[in-house]
């Protein structure tokens, strides 16, 4: 596109773009009106007033040239010049050569051109020495005639007043429009804040407000949030009920097998029952991942130390890596602990040692769990995050009694906190590196 390069200079926020839409037409109108007014009005009025002065000076010069002498001619026009507010000196004490004016004196340019056209003997015009006076010298048959007059004789008085008034009124209207615009954009900001918080697992009170379109979007958001919450609640209740109903016959089976004589077949069946109980517990964990606890302020270093100590008590080799997390993090403590426990469990199941570390950025905190196992091939990492997936490679996340939900539960908890779960290769340990990204 032709104007694609403009995108990098455009404001990113809604307030910035709305202000641009508001100010750009105002500034354009101001510049257009100002230029047209200066060129068509001030210059036109200046030319008309200057032509009148040229006629007066032409008559004065004619009288002086027809008089018997310079002194006689000057005395004949002295009363007329006084009535016209024109000062005359004959001969002039100095010759003004060239035209002098200030750079910003736009009407002076039109005045000089008109004087030059009407007075052929003009030697120079000085508008710079005194902004309120016009001084010039003109050659006549009676000698060098100097004349001066107030600038108001040839230029409209106070030409800047209109511009100042336009700017002042424009600023006032811009402030008023910005206040109204801010009031209209505030409901959109509240809606974005509520949606962002819900994406991070927090439910904030929200009531639709603002224009009808914003109210419609807010109502749609509330309906969507309610449906999602009902769906999560129904899923949790359903799997909780299924788990409860299945635990009762499994408990009877365990008791019946325990009462049998110790045999290989009985031991095998008892192992199957235990595996089924673990599977039910995993299903319930996957369903109830977001209903564990309420958000709280957590210190990352203390959380990592607790996880490392727990893993070591279980007989695993787990070290704490560098913790570069500044301040407290707003998290669901039990949910994050469960996600990191699953990642550590996967790491020690497929490797001999693991390491957990934490870093924070401006927008997110990252908990990293690394191991020295075989890792997961890049083309299989997306499949490894899917529930109940089974990998056919050397690293099988479902080995050891798992059902393929460890990484899925961690991904689900990360999404509840507005983040994600990333899988990569560990540059130091050589195995898998799982990054649990949490939005701040």
Residue with tokens 């299945």: 246
Q: What are the pLDDT tens digits along the chain (440 aa)?
A: 456 666 677 777 777 777 777 777 878 877 777 777 666 667 777 888 888 888 888 888 888 888 888 788 888 888 888 888 888 888 888 888 888 888 777 777 888 888 888 888 888 888 888 778 888 888 888 888 888 888 888 876 655 666 677 778 878 887 887 788 778 888 888 888 888 878 766 778 888 888 888 888 889 989 998 888 888 777 777 766 776 677 777 777 777 777 777 666 677 777 777 777 777 776 666 655 555 467 788 888 888 889 989 888 888 888 888 888 777 888 888 888 888 988 998 888 888 889 999 988 878 889 999 998 888 888 888 888 877 665 644 444 444 445 566 788 888 888 878 788 999 998 888 889 999 998 87
Q: CA angle, 314 as apex, 313 and 318 as ends, to 5°?
A: 80
CA dist., res. 123 & res. 144, Å (int): 9
Q: Give the start-to-end residue ranges of the domains of the chain.
A: 10-160, 207-288, 293-439
CA separation, residue 313 to residues 308, 347, 359, 378 (Å): 9, 16, 25, 33
Residue with tokens 């039109």: 110
Contact 388, 349 (CB under 8 A): no
Please give the pLDDT value at position 396.
45
Q: Which of 376, 135, 416, 194 is nearest to 294 (CA)?
A: 416
DSSP secondary structure letter of residue 69 = S
Pairing type for strands 143-150 and 133-140 reads antiparallel
Q: Give me the DSSP letters along 14-49.
A: HHHHHHHHHHHHHHHHHHHHHHHIIIIIIHHHHHHH
Q: May I ask the CATH architecture of the domain 10-160?
A: 2-Layer Sandwich (3.30)
Contact 336, 303 (CB under 8 A): yes
CA dist., res. 146 & res. 127, Å (int): 14
CA dist., res. 161 & res. 100, Å (int): 24
Please give the pLDDT value at position 390.
59
Determine which helix (DSSP H) or strand (DSSP E) holds 358, and give its type and residue range: strand 354-360
Residue with tokens 């991904």: 411
SS3 321: strand
Hey, what CATH class is 207-288 in?
mainly alpha
Hey, what CATH class is 293-439 in?
alpha beta
Residue with tokens 């910003």: 104
DSSP secondary structure letter of residue 387 = T
Pairing type for strands 87-89 and 354-360 reads unpaired
Q: What are phi and psi of 89, to 5 degrees?
A: -135, 125
> By CB neighbour count within 10 A (0-12 exposed, 13-18 middle, 19+ buried), where does 88 fall?
buried
Please give the pLDDT value at position 283.
65
CA dist., res. 299 & res. 319, Å (int): 18
Please give the pLDDT value at position 152.
80
Contact 264, 312 (CB under 8 A): no
Tokens standing for 230?
């009902």
CA dist., res. 439 & res. 7, Å (int): 27
Residue with tokens 């779960």: 421
Determine which helix (DSSP H) or strand (DSSP E) holds 235, and give its type and residue range: helix 212-259
CA dist., res. 261 & res. 54, Å (int): 133
Tokens standing for 415?
């999404």
């Amino acid at each position: 596109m032709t104007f694609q390069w403009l995108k990098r200079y455009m404001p990113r926020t809604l307030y910035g773009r709305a202000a641009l839409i508001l100010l750009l037409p105002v500034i354009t109108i101001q510049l257009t009106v100002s230029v047209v007014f200066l060129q068509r009005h001030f210059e036109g009025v200046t030319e008309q007033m200057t032509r009148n002065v040229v006629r007066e000076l032409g008559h004065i010069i004619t009288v002086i040239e027809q008089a018997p002498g310079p002194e006689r001619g000057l005395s004949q026009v002295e009363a007329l010049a006084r009535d016209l507010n024109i000062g005359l000196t004959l001969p002039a004490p100095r010759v003004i050569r060239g035209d002098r004016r200030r750079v910003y004196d736009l009407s002076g340019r039109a005045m000089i051109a008109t004087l030059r056209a009407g007075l052929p003997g003009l030697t120079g015009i000085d508008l710079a020495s005194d902004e309120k006076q016009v001084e010039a010298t003109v050659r006549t048959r009676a000698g060098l005639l100097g004349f001066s007059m107030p600038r108001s004789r040839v230029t409209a008085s106070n030409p800047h007043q209109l511009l100042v008034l336009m700017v002042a009124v424009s600023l006032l209207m811009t402030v008023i429009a910005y206040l109204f615009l801010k009031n209209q954009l505030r409901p959109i900001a509240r809606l974005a804040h509520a949606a962002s918080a819900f994406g991070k697992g927090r439910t904030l009170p929200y009531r639709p407000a603002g224009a009808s379109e914003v109210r419609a979007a807010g109502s749609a958001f509330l309906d969507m949030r309610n449906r999602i919450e009902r769906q999560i609640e129904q899923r949790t209740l359903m799997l909780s009920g299924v788990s409860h109903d299945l635990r009762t016959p499994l408990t009877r089976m365990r008791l019946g097998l325990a009462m049998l004589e110790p045999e290989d077949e009985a031991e095998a069946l008892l192992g199957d029952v235990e595996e089924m109980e673990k599977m039910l517990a995993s299903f319930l964990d996957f369903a109830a991942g977001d209903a564990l606890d309420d958000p709280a302020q957590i210190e990352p270093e203390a959380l990592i130390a607790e996880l490392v100590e727990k893993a070591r008590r279980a007989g695993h080799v787990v070290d704490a890596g560098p913790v570069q997390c500044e301040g407290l993090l707003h998290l669901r403590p039990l949910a994050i602990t469960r996600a990191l426990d699953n990642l550590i469990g996967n790491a020690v199941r497929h490797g001999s040692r693991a390491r957990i570390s934490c870093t924070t950025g401006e927008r997110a905190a990252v908990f990293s769990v690394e191991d020295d196992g075989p890792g997961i091939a890049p083309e299989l990492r997306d499949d490894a995050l899917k529930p109940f997936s089974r990998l056919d490679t050397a690293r099988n996340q479902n080995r050891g009694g798992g059902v393929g939900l460890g990484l899925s539960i961690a991904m689900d908890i990360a999404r509840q906190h507005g983040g994600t779960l990333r899988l990569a290769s560990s540059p130091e340990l050589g195995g898998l590196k799982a990054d649990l990204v949490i939005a701040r």
